[in-house]
Amino acid sequence: MAHLTPTPVLEPGQDRTMILNMGPQHPSTHGVLRVLLEIDGETVVRIMPDIGFLHTGIEKTCEAKFYQQVVPLTDRIDYLCPMTNNLCYVLAVEKLLGLEIPAKAQWMRVLMNELTRINSHLVWLGTHALDIGAMTVFLYCFREREEILKLFEAISGQRMMTSYFRVGGVALEPPLDFFDRVRHFAGYFPSRVDEYENLLTGNPIWMMRTQGVARMTAEDAIALGASGPTLRGSGVDIDLRRDMPYSSYEKFQFKVPVRQEGDVFARYLCRVAELRESIGIVRQALDGMPEGPIKANAPGIVLPDREKMKTQMEALIYHFKIITEGFAVPAGEVYQAVESPRGEMGYYIVSDGTAKPYRVHMRAACLANLQTLPKMCEGGLIADVVAAIGSIDIVLGEIDR
């Protein structure tokens, strides 16, 4: 495998090839990805991604924080799907604690998680199409994304860094008209997906730019650790929501879109189909939303309501203790994985019995997906590199952490 033995600055071989440096400020690299390309005319001979420009040492920071203080950090790993990261982290801590979560909180988490998936896929679709040259889709996608961000703001007070899921439940009761607003959104959103598909799916230019481009077989995808739509676009039928359910996903009916072609177009179709499935899950969550509390009954772990904290002595004490001392988590280790919009997002948390995590490791779906880039691009055209990068939906915040 040629891509496994590259040098940091590629040596031009004889005088046939030249080195091209793409990024880290290139607009189609979605942030700060640097790609070194060795090209022979228009053909890519070797390709080597160079990452780390956005490294913030978040795993080290987590070790110095209380468990509940890590939640806002998880937003910032993958800033396009904050709630998925929140969910994965709190599920892992709850598993360490052995905490039972009320049904309504679990369903709220599913609801918000699917809205987050739609949000993330819309950004992907808009920017991916923009990279390849279809500008209009970007404006359409961001129109709907704006509505989702307004919903996020209504429920959590924040548009992007939501921190809405907390250990033991969710932060707040949704506002009174929230479910009606989501229902309204879910009502018209499928027709908007039709609009995107009208612009792209049958579009001859789009098909020429994506069909047969950046192919990857199922064996390669598994060997390189790809996950999510990148893996399912190559014909591997796995979705953690269905196959290893968490947060009561087993109570929802949805299809897992799988395509056999393994090219950019297949990954595009998988994600667009996921948009429709996600809105279906949102509808099911709205229809079947159980009644009850949104936080677990665990006074030493879950912050008391504001009202109680200001009127009851005991609640005030718990509030003070959680804020100042955190809560101790029994020693042990867990690996919790969820299906993020990009693939398998995993949190490996080691506890030594204190109130701060001994080790928090994030398994970033994008980091593994990025390794598929040489397999997809080598031997292809240089213009297709942009299509391939867009099709694996990278977020550099998650890759570099």
Partner 1 sequence: MPLAAAITDLEQLKEHPALACLLAWNAAAVSGAKFDRDEMTIYVDRANIREACALLRDDKCAFNYLSDITCVDWYPAEPRFEVVYHLLSIPNKERVRLKVRLESASPVVESLTPLWPGANYFEREVFDLFGIRFTGHPYLRRLLMPEDWEGHPLRKDYPVEGYR
Residues that bind partner 1 (CB under 8 A): 1, 4-6, 8, 51-52, 55, 57, 59-61, 63-64, 95-96, 98, 100, 222-226, 236, 238, 243-244, 330, 332-335, 337, 344, 346, 348, 350, 358-359, 361, 363, 367-368, 370-371, 400-401
Closest separation in Å from C-beta 4 to partner 1: 4
Shortest separation between residue 64's beta carbon and partner 1, angstroms: 5
Minimum CB distance to partner 1, residue 227 (Å): 8
**What's the per-residue H, E or C state across the chain?**
CHHHCCCCCCCCCCCCCEEEEECCCCHHHCCCCEEEEEEECCEEEEEEEECCCCCCCHHHHHCCCCHHHHHHHHHCCCCCCHHHHHHHHHHHHHHHHCCCCCHHHHHHHHHHHHHHHHHHHHHHHHHHHHHHCCCHHHHHHHHHHHHHHHHHHHHHCCCCCCCCEECCEECCCCCCCHHHHHHHHHHHHHHHHHHHHHHHCCCHHHHHHHCCCCCCCHHHHHHCCCCCHHHHCCCCCCCHHHHCCCCCHHHCCCCCCCCCCCCHHHHHHHHHHHHHHHHHHHHHHHHCCCCCCCECCCCCCCCCCHHHHHHCHHHHHHHHHHHHHCCCCCCEEEEEEEEECCEEEEEEEEECCCCCCCEEEEECHHHHHHCCHHHHHCCCEHHHHHHHHHHCCCCHHHHHC
Q: Under DSSP, is residue 45 helix (H, G, I), strand (E, B) or coil?
A: strand
Based on CB atoms, which residue is closest to partner 1, 59 or 305? 59
Report the residue number, 39 or 337, with the smaller CB distance to partner 1.
337
By C-beta, is 222 or 286 nearer to partner 1? Answer: 222
Q: Which is nearer to partner 1, 57 or 202 (CB)?
A: 57
Least distance from C-beta 347 to partner 1, angstroms?
10
Please report how close the Cβ of residue 5 comes to partner 1 at its closest, in angstroms.
5
Cβ proximity to partner 1, 224 vs 282, nearer residue: 224
Q: Residue 34 in 3-state DSSP?
A: strand
Considering the complex, what minimum distance in angstroms separates the CB of residue 323 from partner 1? 21
Residue 222 Cβ, how far from partner 1 at the closest point, in Å? 6
Residue 224 or 272 with smaller CB distance to partner 1: 224
CB of 349 to partner 1, least distance (A): 11
Token output for 334: 């867990």
At closest approach, how far in Å is the CB of 260 from partner 1? 16
Query: What is the C-alpha separation between 145 and 128, in angstroms, rounded?
Result: 15
Identity of the residue, 36 or 125, whose beta carbon is nearer to partner 1 in the bound complex: 36
In the bound state with partner 1, the residue whose beta carbon lies nearer, of 30 and 192, is 30
* Tokens 């867990």 -> residue: 334
**Considering beta carbons, is residue 7 or 14 the nearer one to partner 1?**
7
